[in-house]
Amino acid sequence: MKQILFLTCIAIFSGGCLGTKKDEAMKTENQETVPIKTEKTQIAILGGGCFWCTEAVFELLEGVESVVSGYAGGANPNPTYEQICTGNTGHAEVIKILFNPAETSYEQLLVTFGECHDPTTLNRQGADTGTQYRSTIMYVNEDQKQLAEAWKSKLGSELEDPVVTEIVASPVFYPAEDYHQDYFRRNPNQSYCAFVIRPKLKKLKLGEDAKDQ
């Protein structure tokens, strides 16, 4: 974990694999397959580095009904946080977003996705390094695939560096341990939240802190 309170500078820049192990009894053991959509909602699966950050961003977006942090894209079932932190399981830290297309669109979610992380760094976000932190869009249908490819092409034409975001069909999604869920909301004063997530929310003009700008 990133709770290294006596080393603030590390907490500002370090990744998700620092810290003590949690009781694996907290792990949500059941896997979740990904429904394409329901009558009034749709699913998006995105990975842009530490899921504490992406979860905090997307929970604040209009039209987003829920966000679940989890793991996807690896071989072994029901991975633990300690396992994926090795970078050897093939999983990425991702979020599963349930959104109402009447209030927001998949395209708008992708715009925010591009703004809340760096899609030009391969297997890295800031000091978080490893394949588990890769930039990834896991589409659940062909429409999402086409929209993701169009987003990547457009963004690539606007940025100096190549966009390295992978676009893949959605694999099995495994919810992360309970202590990862709603992490910023439950731990707003934790050092990583205070020095990394809160400034990001301010930059994106999201949440209560954005009113101070």
Q: What is the pLDDT of residues 73-94, one digit of tens each?
A: 999 999 999 999 999 999 999 9
Task: Please write the tens of the pLDDT for every residue from 121-177.
Answer: 999 999 899 999 999 999 999 999 999 999 999 999 999 999 999 999 999 999 999
pLDDT exceeds cutoff 50 at 6: no
Residue count of the chain, please give it: 213
Contact 92, 49 (CB under 8 A): no
pLDDT exceeds cutoff 70 at 20: no
Q: In the CATH scheme, what architecture does the domain 26-184 have?
A: 2-Layer Sandwich (3.30)
Mean pLDDT of all residues in the chain? 86
The CA-CA-CA angle for residues 28, 137, 27, to 5°, reads: 10
The residues carrying an active-site annotation are 50
* CA proximity to 53, closest of 174, 180, 212, 205: 180
